[in-house]
Amino acid sequence: MSARTLPLLFLNLGGEMLYILDQRLRAQSIPGEKARKDEWTDVDRKRVMNDIITTMFNKKFMEELFKPQELYSKKALRTVYDRLAHASIMRLNQASMDKLYDLMTMAFKYQVLLCPRPKDILLVTFNHLDAIKDFISDSPGILNQVDETFRQLIETYSCLSAGEFQLIRQTLLIFFQDMHIRVSIFLKDKVQNSNGRFVLPISGPVPWGTEVPGLIRVFNHNGDEVKRTEFTTDGNYVTPQREGSFDLYGDRVLKLGTNMYSVSRPVETHMSGSSKNLASHAKENRVPNPLAKEEMNFLARLLGGLEVKTPGGSETGFRLNLFTTDEEEEHAALTRPEELSYKVINIEATQEPGRRAELSRILGEMEVAEPRPASSGKGEDLLALMDGL
């Protein structure tokens, strides 16, 4: 396991989350002069995006994120995204948050699988950050926060060897290995099978610095070539014209990690009919986790810089539905397999040493709150996440 994986996992999943939220907020926006008090406007969309990105790239938060550390459980990381998604006036109920997390994880899993070489995971991350900068192009202060994270990425990862990037890629694949959620975009593009597993191409550009398959060369002990043998391949391979830029600005060449929702496409997920592997994995997760205390300490540190904005005065939180209708959302909440549902962990994260010990005790007990029922009103459906933070 690589101790340098967490920043890449968090930033890429966060980028996918922002892509989805931006697409759904645009789809549900009403022109400001026509909007009722309980309807989204483009001003609301920009505010939500700015608030989430500001929180996501908080300096203190990034400092904790970039410290070398092992990956923690899916439950712990999911808690971070629950909090991040509610860092503005937007509110998601349990079913929509589950769907959002499914889309995020499956999109990044596909990108990791398709990376021509392990180091290209960094280019995928840069593509996400480039797109995030476009979201806040008219906010110089937030842009500076993102640029600072860019510089941290370059400083941290530019000196790593190919072997270290391979270890990072392997750590990511281990994290995703039991997740086989069916996503409509991938199903329609025929890059995902009906069982939720991805179809990997056998053609296309080869990794930068390598040659197109089809030639075997034999060398003697002096390093001189003594024999050549050609063979045919089933794939149609091409040599990339240039390497993607690993600088603050530049052409990344690689398209993985760009916004696949930028064209008008529905945001839907379909659950796989057979979830035996996931079910057995979920049963394993019910066993007390020996790293529970460490995970809570990790969350307490990591979430110290995340602030959930509570609507004040007469202002209400805006509810976002990732489904087409409220009925679909309610149905998804009722029919989602229990092993795929993420419960809400009620914890209080603080930096005080005494409270930290209490947090460790709480996580050890893993007291979980049942999800609240879907709400039809804007602002009434407040996610019961981390009360007291």
pLDDT digits (tens, 9 = 90+) for 242-292: 899 999 999 999 999 999 887 656 566 665 544 434 444 444 444 444 455
Mean pLDDT value across residues 124-144: 95
Q: What share of the chain is helix, strand, coil (3-state, %, to 5)?
A: 45, 5, 45
The residue extents of the domains of the chain are 5-201+245-263+336-345+356-364
pLDDT digits (tens, 9 = 90+) for 110-128: 999 999 999 999 999 999 9
Half-sphere exposure of 350 (CA within 13 A, CB side): 12
Helices 74-85 + 42-56 axis angle, to 10:
140
Predicted confidence at residue 181, as pLDDT, reads 92
pLDDT digits (tens, 9 = 90+) for 143-177: 999 999 999 999 999 999 999 999 999 999 999 99
Sign of CA dihedral 62, 67, 71, 74: negative
Judge whether 211 and 239 are in contact, CB under 8 Å: yes
Predicted confidence at residue 90, as pLDDT, reads 84
* pTM, full prediction: 0.74
Write the DSSP assignment of 127-160 as a string of letters. HHHHHHHHHTTT-HHHHHHHHHHHHHHHHHHTT-
Identify any residues that bridge with 192 across adjacent strands, giving them in sequence order. Answer: 198
Distance between CA 201 and CA 234 in Å, rounded?
A: 11
Judge whether 261 and 19 are in contact, CB under 8 Å: yes
pLDDT digits (tens, 9 = 90+) for 310-355: 555 545 556 665 656 666 656 665 666 655 555 544 434 444 444 4
